[in-house]
Structure 1
Amino acid sequence: MLQVNGINVFYGNIQALHDVSIHVEEGEIVTLIGANGAGKSTLLKTLSGLLKPKTGEIMYLGKPIHGKAAQTIVKDGMSHVPEGRRVFANLTVEENLELGAYIRSDKAGIAKDMAHVYELFPRLLERKKQLSGTLSGGEQQMLAMGRALMAKPKILLMDEPSMGLAPLMVKAIFDIIKMVNAEGTTVLLVEQNAHMALSVASRAYVLETGRIVLSGDAQQLKESDEVRAAYLGGL
């Protein structure tokens, strides 16, 4: 579904990604783990068209997208849940969800998907007329996910969904990631909570200072001494 071949990405003169290659098959949950500053968010921003690679290629559904604008990539079926949630604080929950569907014109389909988002996140239904800036961090994360789902994506890019959340809320968010995937949406997950990420993913990549240093079956990486020592607190 998604094939990234040797991309190099720069911020000015500083190279953030070095010859990064990954692939994601349809229906998978693939996770990218790594320390802060490893380049995980940069990779997602490059995939969704917010940054352009200097060299290398990004193939999505068999076609190159590395020169495309971000809004075109959304139309192609790729949605990005950004780090830090980035909800529109001065708009209501419902207005945020409506904005997620801005590329669509099928009113009946939008209404159906809105109802489904409220099924996935009952708390959003309770707060649909509330300004999203007044929601808790966990509720804002639910809203950011719901907003991305309103674009009816084939693949969902998720950047640090557990950041700053209480353990119970983290579990709830990851349960929903599994549910969304079971309903047919492919997921590429960037996550600092390596234990949670590796427990839901089928495959994983480890990114260090802009380079892929390890990749493979998520369960095998979870049991690897190197990954345990670096990312799982020696568990």
Structure 2
Amino acid sequence: MLKVNNINVFYGNIQALKGVSLEVIEGEIVTLIGANGAGKSTLLKTLSGLLKPKSGTIEYLGEPISGKAPQSIVKTGISHVPEGRRVFSNMSVEENLELGAYTRKDAGGVRKDMEKVYELFPRLLERRKQLSGTLSGGEQQMLAMGRAIMAKPKLLLLDEPSMGLAPLMVKQIFNIIEQINKDGTTVLLVEQNANMALSIANRAYVIETGRIEISGTAAELQASEEIKKAYLGGL
């Protein structure tokens, strides 16, 4: 579904991604784990068109997308939930969700998907007329995910969905990621909470200082002593 081949990405003179290659197969949850500053968010921004690679290729559903504008990439079926939520704080929950569907012309389908989002996130239904800036961090994360779902993505890019959330809310968010995947959306998950990410993923990549250093099934990485020491708190 998604093939990233040897991409190099720079911020000015600083190289943030160094020859990164990875693949996401339709129906999977693939997680990318690594320390702060390793290049995880840079990769997602590059996939969604916010950054352009200096070299290398990105293919999605067999088509090259690395030169496309972000709005064109959204229309191909890729939605990006950025780190830090980025909801429109002076708009209501419902208005944020409607904005997520801005590329769509099927009014009936949009209504159905709004109902689906409210089923996934009952809290958003309760708060639908509330300004999103007044929501808690967990509710804002739900809204950011709901807004992305409204674009009807085939591939969902999630950047640090558990960041800053209480453990109970983290568990809830990860349950919902699994549900979204079961409903037919492929997921590429960037996450510092490696334990949680590996517990729901099919496969995983470890990125260190802009390079993919390790890849394998989630079970293989969970069992690796090296990964346990570096990312799983030595468990």
Q: TM-score, normalised by structure 2?
A: 1.00
Give the Cα separation in 1 of the matches to 2:233 and 2:25. 30
What is the DSSP-based 3-state SS (H/G/I as helix, E as strand, rest coil) of the residue aligned with 1:10? strand
Tell me how far apart the structure 2 counterparts of residues 129 and 177 of structure 1 sit (CA, whole Å). 25
2:233 partner SS: coil
Structure 2, unpaired ranges of 5+: none
1:36 aligns with 2:42: no
Match of 1:46 in 2: 46
Determine helix, strand or coil for the equivalent of 1:95: helix
> Is 1:132 matched up with 2:132?
yes
Instruction: Measure the CA separation in 2 of the matches of 1:112 and 1:13.
Output: 47
Residue 204 of structure 1 aligns to a residue whose secondary structure is strand
Within 5 A, what are the aligned runs for 1:1-235?
1-235=1-235
- Identity %, equivalent residues: 77
Corresponding letter in the other structure for 2:122: P
Stretches (4+) displaced over 6 A: none
The alpha-carbon deviation at position 50 of structure 1 amounts to: 0.2
Q: Secondary structure at the match of 1:104?
A: coil
Q: Over residues 137-185 of structure 1, what are the superposed CA-to-partner deviations in whole Å (9 max), with x where a residue is unaligned?
A: 0000000000000000000000000000000000000000000000000
Counterparts of 1:86 and 1:92 in 2: how far apart (Å)? Answer: 14
Q: Structure 1: which 5+ residue stretches go unaligned?
A: none
The alignment partner of 1:103 has SS state of: coil
* Cα distance in 2 for residues equivalent to 1:105 and 1:221: 42
TM-score when normalising by structure 1: 1.00
Distance 1:3 1:213 in 2: 17
The alignment of Structure 1 onto Structure 2 pairs a total of residues equal to 235
How far apart in 2 are the matches of 1:11 and 1:213?
21
Q: C-alpha separation between the residues in 2 aligned to 1:227 and 1:89?
A: 38
Cα drift, residue 188 of structure 1: 0.1
Alpha-carbon distance, 1:105 to partner: 1.1
* In structure 2, C-alpha distance between the alignment counterparts of 1:49 and 1:99, rounded to whole Å: 19
Separation in 2, partners of 1:107, 1:56: 38
SS at match of 1:170: helix
Superimposed CA distance per residue, residues 56-104 of structure 1 (whole angstroms, 9 cap, x where no aligned partner):
0000000000000000000000000000000000000000000000001
How far, CA to CA, are the matches of 2:233 and 2:174 in structure 1? 20
Classify the secondary structure of the residue corresponding to 2:178.
Answer: helix
- Which digits, 9 at most, give the CA deviation of each residue in 1:159-216, with x for residues without a partner? 0000000000000000000000000000000000000000000000000000000000
- Counterpart of 2:231, as a letter, is Y
